[in-house]
A and B are shown apart, each in its own frame.
Chain A
């Protein structure tokens, strides 16, 4: 997709691929046949630039056909380069960072009010945690005891223009969430069993929202992309595409 469209964010897509795979195959109560069911779980992708992996996941889950992905970023396509709610299965359009968590909180409040048992999962990037709007939400959710809300942070340690440590250090990251009153789980974001274990346990604590800090590798699975800043933006050449596909076993 990103090769054909010459649009990237591939590094941040690969770092969260395992998270989405576990969410959509093991955790989320969503149904491609009834994508608007009121009692569904919600997934809000706040790092809206990581859209290629989101669309690919939804296609694999049957929300639409895989061939439709060929239009990704092409003229007239609904598959825009930042995630779009025109695409079946996508709850909200994002792309400007720091928007997803407050929306997810609203959905969690409404779900609790409705008593339907829906859970809301929201995926943030680490660089996105620079945005103050997130911290407004991080303060709010524990105060309102939103235990049907789960944030997952794709903590790949690289943001768009440098490492997180260089640009705006988040450390001590887990301690910050704990201090705000969250149930904090810290795992290897590529360990499928750990992901399934933690995410299937939501709510992990009654009366508290959960954050899963998923330690990940930017560009995971492709040797020349792993932990490389340039693969935040680059799209692969024909040759590198072939190598990448071979490495991920596609």
Chain B
């Protein structure tokens, strides 16, 4: 995903001389091609995210489109007030790009796990939030935010994620990765691959399960989500993020006022306050969070049985 992002950004920057990229001393072996191609529009500001966000606002308020890039919590939570006041309040054309969504930096420990970022960023007024599930969506999202003129958050995983679908037609709309109507799994981010695995397993047990990638969390296309789940007897949300403030909150909120109120089961990462995290790969940590494909299957079957 990182490589796709930088390729797409380089393409956008060669078409638009107003695109800048700032990084907070992270991006080794990823950002160099951009730096080499556009040396006067690339800047490593050092390990100083508050300064990076403020500088980005200042450049953007001078008429430019500025991407800032770092790992997970650093370009987001570390400089949250700069994003709120300097960027969003002024409508500055700044794109916050965080690599390492969820458990992507698994064994590095809790400080490097981005588990609350999408929800917190979604709460900022005037920002658009994208959580692509595969390189195709990363390409579409990068193209889209490069020309949107608005503050944006782009949440990337780390590397090696496969393409999960065939084409992206409109990134702002839910993208069907697998057709199915009885149970619809709405997933955000690369964890959608586990939804596909689980759906395959459930299909083998006679269930009709669809998987839909929701990569644009804000603005959420509510009509399209309703349409995607219109025949479902169970909606499942799946995210590599805590449930509070993430995809589950958005979807549950969307249906809260409905007379029909389809049941929504939220699958995500448990909140970890006061508990230490153990070392482990992304895969191992997701499994430990009860998000293996098998566990997803079991939890969906439990939800269906309760109905």
Interface size range of chain B in the complex: 20 to 34
Residues of B near A139 (CB, < 8 A) are: 46, 48
Interface residues in A91-106 by Cβ distance below 8 A to B read: 91-96, 98-99, 101-106
* Chain A interface category by residue count: 20 to 34
Cα-based distance from A85 to B160 in the complex (angstroms)? 44
**Are A133 and B59 touching (Cβ within 8 A)?**
no
Specify the chain B residue showing the minimal Cβ separation from A107: B58
CA distance A109 to B45 in the complex (A): 12
**Chain B: interface secondary structure?**
helix
Q: Which of B52, B63, B64, B86 counts the most chain A CB atoms within 10 A?
A: B86
Flag if B62 contacts A92 (CB, 8 Å): no
Residues of B within 8 A of A103 (CB): 54-55, 57-58, 61, 86
Is B40 an interface position by the 8 A CB rule?
yes
Scan A107-135; emit 1 where CB is below 8 A from any B CB, else 0. 11111011000000000000000001100
Interface of A is mostly: helix
Q: Does A38 contact B (CB under 8 A)?
A: yes
Partner of A106, one of B40, B46, B50, B60: B60
B54, A99: Cβ atoms under 8 Å?
Answer: yes
Q: A96-B81, A99-B86, A102-B82 are in contact. Are A110 and B63 (CB under 8 A)?
A: yes
Min distance, Cβ A122 to any Cβ of chain B, angstroms: 10
- For B45, the chain A residues whose CB sits under 8 A away are 140
**A105/B55 contact (C-beta < 8 A), A85-B90, A99-B85 known:** yes
Contacts of B89 on A, CB cut-off 8 Å?
93
Task: Give, as a whole number of angstroms, the nearest-CB distance from B84 to chain A.
Answer: 9
Alpha-carbon distance A93/B81, docked complex (angstroms): 13
Q: Is the CB of B58 within 8 A of A133?
A: no
Max count, chain B CB within 10 A of own CB: residue among A102, A106, A137, A139? A106
Contact A133 B57, beta carbon cutoff 8 Å: no
* Cross-interface CB contact of B59 among A38, A85, A96, A110, cutoff 8 Å: A110
Residues of B that sit less than 8 Å from A by CB = 40-41, 43, 45-46, 48, 50-64, 66, 81-82, 85-86, 89-90
